[in-house]
Homo-oligomer: A and B are copies of this chain.
Amino acid sequence: MNALRRLQSELGAIVSVDPLDLVAHRTDKSGWVADGTPLAIVRATTVDNVQAVLRIATEFRVPVVTRGAGTGLSGGACGTDGSIVLSVAGLTRILEINPDDELAVVEAGVINQDLNDALARQNLWFAPDPASKAISTVGGNIATNAGGLLCAKYGVTREAVLGLTVVLADGSLLRTGHRTVKGVTGYDLTALLTGSEGTLGVIVEATVRVRALTEGTIATIGAVFDTVTAAAAASAAITAARIRPAVMELIDPVALGHVATYLGPEGSAGLPLSRGAFLLVQTDGPAALAEAEAALIVLRQAGGEATLSTDAASGDRLLAIRRAMHPALEQLGQVLIEDVSVPRSRMAEMFDAIASISARTGISIPTVAHAGDGNLHPNFVITRRPGEAADAAVPDEIWAAADEMFQAALSLGGTLTGEHGVGVLKRRWLRDEIGDTSLVLQRQLKAVFDPLGLLNPGTMFDA
């Protein structure tokens, strides 16, 4: 009996070896395509299914790549040659919403937006807010410690996770954390597993913190600056003024040019998008209007042409400019989205570094930033030669430019990845950031959870 036959005999119809299915699971939203062909796709719908897969994988020494919605941007959920792709997208039950304890218990495959829709009926929400929320899962959110637009004010995903149920490499079940606001019994395995990218165990269930929906006005400012340096300085001035926007997003002139073309004049919300950098600031909560008015003064003093909206419709028109960024670039070719993060005070320098790498290499690098927290997404748009496969490997010159960008971020006290994860794509720079001592320790921690090296090998660490 081999691993595949055992999977099929134990799990039946949820095991797929359809060639198209196998090919489709070699890639994720990063555009990375794994070499070779996975052994099978297993679409788990119960925790028992997941345990069975891990038991079989351990028995037959077959690697397991766990996958949620496949919206990851680091190649961390791509079915590698001979692996079992274990989809937890079918674990979709919302098990509990508890307004009294401000928590929810959900299975890993619940879509972020679906959870928020269910919570909204009780005036609650789940703060982690990746741009992919309409299509990404809570489990994927946790496995990558995803960020999003609201982190400076509302925290990263880790802060919203109270406890986890995790299937370990041998198929046994681990429960971590608690249902309480505080709890310090033993090591914080919940936090260790958050952001572990499927390398330590398979998250099947999570107890998450939820909050009261923020009440009151939402105020939105759109501002255009002559240069990205001026826009970055303006966003730093807002932080320095101790204003705490819920959202603060910055689009550089290269990217904004594409957005302006994509939206056309009617989508510009009356702002001169074709000539400069765009800063979007949104405040919420009881002081939203006062904060927005203070922010407006700061932005104008910093040289911005700015407009403040307090009604939903005109606020949405400003947000639509930010939302158009990715679709505008996707029209031009395959987009590789990078994800460096720097201390907020160094953001202007990071934009300078990107501009200088772009000038030196001749590669255009349209960039958007979560300016409230210093997380930049420089984009590489890959245009293919006629006849070249749309999913061919990223050209070496782009990785060379990315390498320069990562070194620049590290030298500014920043990180390789603010919210997308190391995955396959940033593995080779891991040591540059964390150093040898940490790398050795991290590999040993991995070995405690996964002594046979079966969990997502090649993600985060070299296999």
Contacts and interface: CB of A to CB of B under 8 A. Distances in A.
Contacts of A123: 242
On chain A, which size bracket covers the interface?
35 or more
A244 B415 contact: no
Nearest to A434: B186
Nearest to A182: B418
Given A158-B188, A188-B145, A438-B186, A343 B101 contact: yes
A394 interface: no
B183 A415 contact: yes
Given A176-B438, A242-B212, A441-B449, A373 B182 contact: yes
Given A244-B212, A448-B448, A430 B145 contact: no
B181 A144 contact: no
Nearest to A192: B192
Given A155-B159, A435-B175, A147 B182 contact: yes
A454 B200 CA distance: 26
A374 interface: yes
A195 interface: yes
Contact of A420 (B98, B158, B180, B184): B184
A204 to B, nearest CB: 14
A421 interface: yes
10 contacts: A102-B344, A145-B184, A174-B441, A181-B344, A182-B370, A183-B418, A184-B415, A186-B438, A188-B194, A285-B286
Contacts of A449: 441
A448 B184 CA distance: 21
Contacts of A41: none
Given A151-B181, A156-B181, 19 more contacts: A101-B345, A172-B437, A175-B435, A180-B341, A180-B418, A181-B341, A181-B344, A182-B375, A183-B415, A184-B420, A184-B421, A184-B422, A186-B422, A187-B445, A188-B191, A188-B192, A189-B442, A285-B286, A444-B448
B185 A156 contact: no
Most chain-B Cβ atoms within 10 A of its Cβ — which of A144, A176, A179, A445?
Answer: A179
B100 A345 contact: yes
Tell me whether chain A's interface is mostly helix, strand or loop, or mixed: loop
Contacts of A264: none
A168 interface: yes
Nearest to A181: B373
A158 to B, nearest CB: 7
Contacts of A147: 182, 184
A419 interface: yes
Contact of A240 (B99, B152, B155): B99
Contacts of A195: 184, 187-188
A91 interface: no
A334 to B, nearest CB: 24
Interface of A: 98-103, 123, 144-145, 147, 151-152, 155-156, 158-159, 168, 172-176, 178-189, 191-192, 194-196, 200, 212, 236, 239-240, 242, 244, 285-287, 290, 341-345, 370, 372-375, 413-422, 426, 430, 433-435, 437-439, 441-442, 444-445, 448-449, 460
A442 B100 contact: no
A449 B152 CA distance: 32
Contact of A182 (B168, B419, B426): B419
A442 B186 contact: yes
A438 B156 contact: no
A100 B156 contact: no
A104 to B, nearest CB: 13
Contacts of A159: 155, 159
A421 B183 CA distance: 9
A176 B439 CA distance: 11
Given A192-B192, A343-B179, A441-B174, A460 B186 contact: yes
